[in-house]
Amino acid sequence: MKHLILLLIVLPVMFISCQKDNDVIEKKKPGYFVVTELKGSLKSSNDASIQKTAQSGFDLGDLKASRNFSFILTNGGNQPIFDIILTTDNESFTVSPGEIPSLAGNTQFDSISGSGFIPIISLGIIHGLQLNGVGFADLLPMGINSSVLTITGKTLDGNDTISISASYDFTVNAKVMDVKFYVNGSEIDLTKNYSVIYGATGFVRYYKIESHDFEIENIGNVDIDLTYGSAHTLLEQNAKKQVFIAGLKYFRLDGHGAITDNSRIQLGNDGIGYFVVDY
């Protein structure tokens, strides 16, 4: 009778133990990539600094000049991911780091603030300025630009090692401040037809014209606050403004932070474009 009672006690315990073991086995899902946009400081998985987790991509909005965007890369499965490689298909979109040795499964840390290693990914988009160092860089074409970030790696599926990959589309709307000059209806080549005037703060480009009939046209994709002499006006996109030139007149172009082609418009340290026209 004692043996029967002992057996009745042991069997349920063995059943529960086996059930728990089966649950653990079932929960060992292969690793997969999760990319989340990060803004502000990294505090917790519920923090407002984490704005968006994407299934396929991110719309990063307007881009007025070169900029770095930060993301966190996590593992949505339980098994670790290793031999991770990150690449983009657009040379103006750079990703760092390019390689990550391993990424723990999500049972190996309890939250973003826990002990698990979570890499921060930097996506640098080059638009007019160097991201690392000083100087100018190529502009992105005005308007929508995109790149695909591809992440590859390996994980475990049971006892097998398998290859995995994920792709994410990143899109920005590149903003550029740009203008054209016309004298008597003929366009001036802004890259050549100027000299310079030196002053206490450096120099500005100086255009000598042969007529009072001067026009400036906004050919960029941002509105420009235009100041010339004591006058001020808004030069909207695709709009032209005729200005009567009598003597020397200073112009100021404010594109509200939008980059420009330095060979065409000289930007001051304040991000404002300056030039002088003289008749």
> Which CATH number do you get for residue 214?
2.60.40
Per-residue pLDDT at 76: 93
With contact defined as beta carbons under 8 Å apart, do 183 and 207 qualify?
A: no
Which neighbouring-strand residues pair with 219?
none
With contact defined as beta carbons under 8 Å apart, do 174 and 109 qualify?
A: no
Boundary of a domain, candidates 117, 150, 174:
174
Concatenate the DSSP letters of all residues of 162-230 into one string.
EEEEEEEEEEEEE-B--EEEEETTEEE-TTTS-EEEEETTEEEEEEE-SSSEEEEEE-SSS-EEEEETT
Q: Give the pLDDT confidence of 189-198 residue by residue, as tens digits.
A: 999 989 998 8
Measured from the Cβ of residue 67, the count of other Cβ atoms closer than 10 Å reads 15
Per-residue pLDDT at 106: 80
> How big is the chain, counted in residues?
279
Boundary of a domain, candidates 130, 146, 174:
174
Q: Is 25 strand, coil or helix?
A: helix
Same domain, 223 and 145: no
Same domain, 118 and 73: yes
Q: What is the DSSP letter of 49?
A: T
Same domain, 209 and 104: no
Average the pLDDT over 4-28 and give the result: 48
Q: Give the pLDDT confidence of 78-118 residue by residue, as tens digits.
A: 999 999 999 999 999 999 999 999 999 886 544 443 445 78
Same domain, 91 and 220: no
Same domain, 141 and 36: yes
Boundary of a domain, candidates 174, 192, 208:
174
Same domain, 213 and 274: yes
Q: Is 12 strand, coil or helix?
A: helix
| 239 exposure class (CB count in 10 Å sphere: 0-12, 13-18, 19+) | middle
With contact defined as beta carbons under 8 Å apart, do 243 and 230 qualify?
A: no
Same domain, 229 and 156: no
Per-residue pLDDT at 18: 47
Per-residue pLDDT at 146: 98
CATH number at residue 51: 2.60.40.10
Residue 72 or residue 28, greater confidence: 72
Q: Give the pLDDT confidence of 168-220 residue by residue, as tens digits.
A: 999 999 999 999 999 999 999 999 989 998 865 578 999 999 999 999 999 99
Degrees, nearest 5: CA angle 121-127-132: 55
Q: pLDDT band for position 28 (50/70/90)? A: confident
Same domain, 208 and 149: no
Q: Considering the domain boundaries, does residue 139 fall inside one?
A: yes
Q: Considering the domain boundaries, does residue 23 fall inside one?
A: no
Q: Considering the domain boundaries, does residue 67 fall inside one?
A: yes
Q: Which domain holds residue 269?
A: 179-278
Whole-number average pLDDT of the chain: 85
Average the pLDDT over 257-279 and give the result: 94
Q: Considering the domain boundaries, does residue 1 fall inside one?
A: no
**Peptide bond between residue 97 and the one before it cis (omega within 30 degrees of 0):** yes
Q: Considering the domain boundaries, does residue 77 fall inside one?
A: yes
Q: Give the pLDDT confidence of 232-251 residue by residue, as tens digits.
A: 999 999 999 999 999 999 99
Separation of alpha carbons 90 and 214, rounded Å: 40
Which neighbouring-strand residues pair with 148?
169
Same domain, 34 and 170: yes
pTM over 0.75: yes
Residue 141 or residue 105, greater confidence: 141
